[in-house]
Structure 1
Amino acid sequence: MSTTQRSEGMNAFFDEFINSTTTLQQFVVQYDNALHSKVEKECEANFASANTTLPCGSQSFIERQFQDEYTHAKFGEVQNELTCKINCNIKSVEVHGGKAKYIVKEALIWKDQSADKYNEVIFDLVTKDIECTCWLFEFRGVLCCHSLMVLALEDVKFVSQKYILS
């Protein structure tokens, strides 16, 4: 996460517990209350995830794989990327040795204008490992729509466990 994102996230987290008039002593007490609240919300979310199932939006084995492994919140992120896959097209493919390099065009709309974005996805034909220049997996722990597009094109039914974070 960028410094700004962390700062905004922390501000939002503490907003309900402290304000500009909070003393240092009150801050320590409220900080403890905030942490307990966060742990409680995580336990409730884990319980809900363990006892209910969000439906899959497709017939994808990969989607089902993530459905079985992730909490509702993380699975929702995966489903969002699967939905965004509709905006992607493969523009070119180059195969060198055991690796394929895909150029994936993602059609976006920004300020009511078409704003295409291009990403490079490297797919290892042997190990089925995948990397994308958008780095979504490295930053958020979720495979991006560009990678999911390539995996579908390569007819990969299940992803390696290294792409399913605990």
Structure 2
Amino acid sequence: MPILTRPRRQRARYQALSIPARRLSRVAPALLWFHRATVNKTILLVDDDLHSREGLRQSLVGGGFLVETAQDGAQAIKRMIESEVGMAIIDLDLPPVKGVTISGWDVVRICRAFDAAMPIIVVSAEGGPEVKARAKELKVLECLEKPIAPGQVKGIVRAIDP
């Protein structure tokens, strides 16, 4: 049964690792645990601002989480399709792409379509009762107002997924 592993010198390529059938019974539980651990810790981070996105990404990766990033709604949808995401952090103010506007709220709805129980944190420059009411309506776990500290977000994520 081939298993994908990363070679030491090449970061982007994977190579197949063959495990003999007699050893598979000892290795399979560890692989299952690793799969569950990484799927539950994969976070989709959607933010159009490069500095905010990279600061949050570095903080979360430093906390032991796998992070998929997207700079707009279209990329966020692509990342949702390509990988199994356990949690999402979404900036509500996303730019239009090729004339099509996919707002942060649209991305929240799409995340809900993929997984109704997915923990979602939204980040917005504009707070207020309208944003909080809409977040509550879409069952958003946390609604943060910019500017935010990466440590604050990491603490919230740890509380959700210890």
TM-score w.r.t. length of structure 2:
0.32
Instruction: Tell which structure's C-alpha radius of gyration is larger.
Output: 1
TM-score w.r.t. length of structure 1:
0.31
